[in-house]
Amino acid sequence: MRRVRAGTVQGILIEGEMRYLSTMITINNVTKTYGNQPSPAVDKLCLEIGEGQIFGFLGPNGAGKSTTIKMIVGILKQDSGTITVEGLDNVKDPVAVKSLIGFVPDEPNLYEKMTAVKYLNFVADIYGVSEAQRKERIEKYAKLFEIDRNLPDELSSFSHGMKQKIAVIAAILHDPKIIILDEPMVGLDPRSSFILKELLSKLAKEGKTVFFSTHVMEVAERLCDRIAIINKGKLVTQGTLEEIKAMKGEENATLEKLFLELTGSDDVLTEAAEEGREEEI
């Protein structure tokens, strides 16, 4: 049943694509299996992410979100399939692809004994950011995230959320065309997570492409132009929220409900439903 529907999604996708001027990231039939795992972590995944979109990448734990993102940014190499970024192949032209991307990993692993400024300077050197630009951007974003007073401190003294903010600043320091974030809201306090959401919207309005994974439905619902849901390495559905709702025939459903329906095994859901009924009785 679901498979037939997934087929229709593909059809909608092709139409949907027409709305955008150009595709920024194309993931074509990509498969990745970890050496010690029997089944692929990402299985024949196809995705197109248009320029200027905020693209939400949804899926339960272990669905393959981080694996997909790691392949796009170059941490992992796909076993088969192609990934192109602005027409550039990520295997043939890795350095060019990487300089287009700013990446925020799921864990803010930073050089703990550097001060925040030193770390940001190092990243700016790697991406070739001029002195004037780095000064302007570091000061601007540090003020935005309210950590400007902590810039001269050693990163080991930062809390998880503060490190996450530094990782975000480091990722947008070179004004990349594409910003890729892996579960960026984890560990941020409500205020900071609001600031980050605003920032991502603003960047998208400026024409940047934002691609991020999350399992916070509220964020995806509010922020994203398009959504893709994967489960067990396979694409379940993609489209705008309205398209997905229309496709499921549930115009009034929340994204959470759709997500649970699309990613849960049917047994669990029916069981839960039955339990609910029993309680009612």
Partner 1 sequence: MRLKLVFSLVRGLFSGTSLKDLFKFGQSEGDEKKKKRSLIRKAGGGAGKVLLFLLILMALASYLFMFGLTFNTYEVLGQVLGFGPGLSLSFCSFISFIMLLVFSFMMSIDMLFKGRDLAMLRTMPLTDAEITVSRVIAMYLYMLPLHMIMAVPAVVIYLLYNPFCGATIPGILISVLVLPLVPVCLAALLGALTAKIGGKGPGRLVMQLTLIIVIVVLFSLLQMGKLSNLDPTEAASLEEYSQMGGALGFVASNLESILRVAPMLRWNASLMGSGALTGSLLAVGTTLVLCALCVWGVSSMFYGICSSMESEGKGRSHRAAVEPVYRRSSQLRALLGREWYILRSSSSFMIEIIGESLVPVLILVMWGAMGMLGQMTSGLVGMQGALYFPLIVCGILLLVQGLDMVSATSVSRQGKLFYTDRVFPVDYRVLINAKLLMHLTLAFAPNVLYTIAVTVLFGLGIWDMLWIILVNFIFAVGMCYLGLSLDYTKPNLTWKNPQQAVKNNLNGLKSMGLCAATVLITGGVCVLLILKVDYWPCYIWVPAALTGILVLARRFAMKAASERLC
Q: Which residues bind Mg ion (CB under 5 A)?
A: 66
Chain centroid offset of residue 212 CA? 1
**Residue 122: contacted member of Mg ion, partner 1, ligand ADP, none (CB under 5 to 8 Å, by partner type):** partner 1
One-letter identity of residue 173: L
If DSSP codes are grouped into helix, strand and coil, which group holds residue 105?
coil
How far is the CA of 14 from the CAs of 99, 226, 237, 248, in angstroms?
29, 13, 13, 18
Cα–Cα distance measured from residue 129 to residue 108, given in angstroms and rounded to the nearest whole number: 22
Indicate the DSSP class of residue 115.
Answer: B
Kindly state the smallest distance separating residue 160's Cβ from partner 1, in Å. 14
Is residue 109 involved in binding ligand ADP (CB under 6 A)?
no
Q: Which stretch binds partner 1 (CB under 8 A): 48-56, 117-125, 196-204, 271-279?
A: 117-125
* Out of 49, 54, 73, 235, the residue judged to bind partner 1 by CB under 8 A: 73
Is residue 39 involved in binding partner 1 (CB under 8 A)?
no
**Residue 62: contacted member of Mg ion, partner 1, ligand ADP, none (CB under 5 to 8 Å, by partner type):** ligand ADP
Q: What are phi and psi of 254, to 5 degrees?
A: -80, 165
Q: Which of 101, 95, 129 is nearest to 24 (CA)?
A: 101
Kindly state the smallest distance separating residue 209's Cβ from partner 1, in Å. 17
Cα–Cα distance measured from residue 201 to residue 152, given in angstroms and rounded to the nearest whole number: 29
Q: Which of 45, 35, 38 is nearest to 13 (CA)?
A: 45
If DSSP codes are grouped into helix, strand and coil, which group holds residue 273?
helix
Kindly state the smallest distance separating residue 138's Cβ from ligand ADP, in Å. 29
| Cβ-based nearer residue to partner 1, 39 or 265 | 39
**Is 241 in contact with 226 (CB distance < 8 Å)?**
no
**Residue 206: contacted member of partner 1, ligand ADP, Mg ion, none (CB under 5 to 8 Å, by partner type):** none
Is residue 130 involved in binding partner 1 (CB under 8 A)?
yes
Q: Which of residues 18-47 bind ligand ADP (CB under 6 A)?
A: 34, 36-37, 41
Task: Give the end-to-end CA distance of the chain in Å, rounded to a whole number.
Answer: 31
Q: Which stretch binds ligand ADP (CB under 6 A): 64-72, 163-171, 184-192, 260-268?
A: 64-72
**Residue 39: contacted member of ligand ADP, Mg ion, partner 1, none (CB under 5 to 8 Å, by partner type):** none
* Out of 21, 95, 252, 279, the residue judged to bind partner 1 by CB under 8 A: 95
* Interface residue list for ligand ADP (CB under 6 A): 34, 36-37, 41, 59, 61-67
